[in-house]
Structure 1
């Protein structure tokens, strides 16, 4: 939550009074003077003290194993949404998915009501890696691995950043691969393979930044982030 918004809400200050607290050096984060009113804070990660008074936040952070057929949205007229998989009593009104997965793509999705965190994670400058397991309808070759490492060029000239493609297994008619990218272009993974003349037949995200999809989390299930997982996201609180 933005620090200035938190101060206004919990100390019931006016904007003028809130600014005076910063100018009078009465805002401390982790016992250090803080002058940035827009700083994203969470009391699970930060010690927040204003004029000697501790402040608390109430953000939620969920890891969801998104199943196929569910759309990455808050509302949809036709399909069940990712946020609707969260039970109503655990679902704040502004809960939303960070980033997007296609309707037929499964796997790790972060849901939160901390909009600043979601924004920071999706910024190109953050270079947050996303890792996918994919099944491809043909043999993936060493030439494909090299092309991904150089940067795939879409039809139309759009150039992707270099990506790490690992071949896990190759059969007569398909391959299993692991792909790590730092971008989030529309249908990016599928388009990258199409540019190599191959089609993705199954796709699942297994990691996003420091977060990993827990093997025990079944499709459609979710859980709150552990303290360790949340700590690993602290660098994105800006």
Structure 2
């Protein structure tokens, strides 16, 4: 939560009073005077005080193992959305999904009420890595590793950044992993199509420091642990 939102919501102060509070150095984060009213904070990660009184945030962070057939959208007239995967008492209007997975892709999706974090995680300069497990119709080749590393060019001429391709198991390699740091529309599917392979199954297994483990079944979700939230701390600014 941005400091200005936290203070205005808990202290009911005007914008003018808010600026005066910061000008006087009354706001501290982890013991240091904070002048940036837009700084993103969470009381699970930071000690936040106003005139020596501790403030607490109530942000929500969920990791969802998104199933196929579910769309990453706030509402849809035809298909269930990722928010339909949540229990009613865990839903709220402030929840946002961080990035998108298309309807036929399953796997890790972060949902949070922390809009500033959601925005920052998607900025290109953050270079947040995403790893996907991929099942291909046509087998991948060793030469594809170098092609992905050099940067795939889509059939329409769009150039991708360098990506890491890992061949799994033994030849023929129909099962692979790919790690990217971008979020172009249908990027992974288009990358493989550009080297003559069709993606049949796609699953995201990591997003930045978050990892989808075997304990979370398809369609299930849970709150982030404190340890997982700590791993996201570098993206709070």
**TM-score, length of structure 2 as denominator length:** 0.98
Q: Distance in 2 between matches of 1:198 and 1:140?
A: 7
- For the 8 Å contact 1:139–1:170, the answer to whether it is kept is no
Partner of 1:230: 229
2:2 is the counterpart of 1:40? no
CA-CA distance at 1:169 after TM superposition: 2.9
Partner of 1:52: 52
Partner secondary structure for residue 149 of structure 1: helix
Unaligned runs of 5+ in 1: none
CA-CA distance at 1:103 after TM superposition: 0.4
- For the 8 Å contact 1:83–1:96, the answer to whether it is kept is no
- For the 8 Å contact 1:135–1:176, the answer to whether it is kept is yes
2:220 is the counterpart of 1:221? yes
What are the superposed Cα offsets for residues 167-213 of structure 1, whole Å, 9 maximum, x if unpaired?
A: 003555x6100100000000000000000011000000000000000
Partner of 1:103: 103
Q: Distance in 2 between matches of 1:112 and 1:26?
A: 28
CA-CA distance at 1:51 after TM superposition: 1.2
Partner of 2:87: 87
Q: Distance in 1 between matches of 2:187 and 2:201?
A: 14
Q: Distance in 1 between matches of 2:4 and 2:96?
A: 22
2:204 is the counterpart of 1:197? no
- RMSD (Å), alpha carbons: 1.0
What are the superposed Cα offsets for residues 31-82 of structure 1, whole Å, 9 maximum, x if unpaired?
A: 1110000011111111110112111111100010000000011111111100
Q: Distance in 2 between matches of 1:47 and 1:158?
A: 45
Q: Distance in 2 between matches of 1:156 and 1:221?
A: 37
Q: Distance in 1 between matches of 2:11 and 2:150?
A: 53
Count residues in correspondence. Answer: 237
Q: Distance in 1 between matches of 2:93 and 2:66?
A: 20
**TM-score, length of structure 1 as denominator length:** 0.97
Unaligned runs of 5+ in 2: none
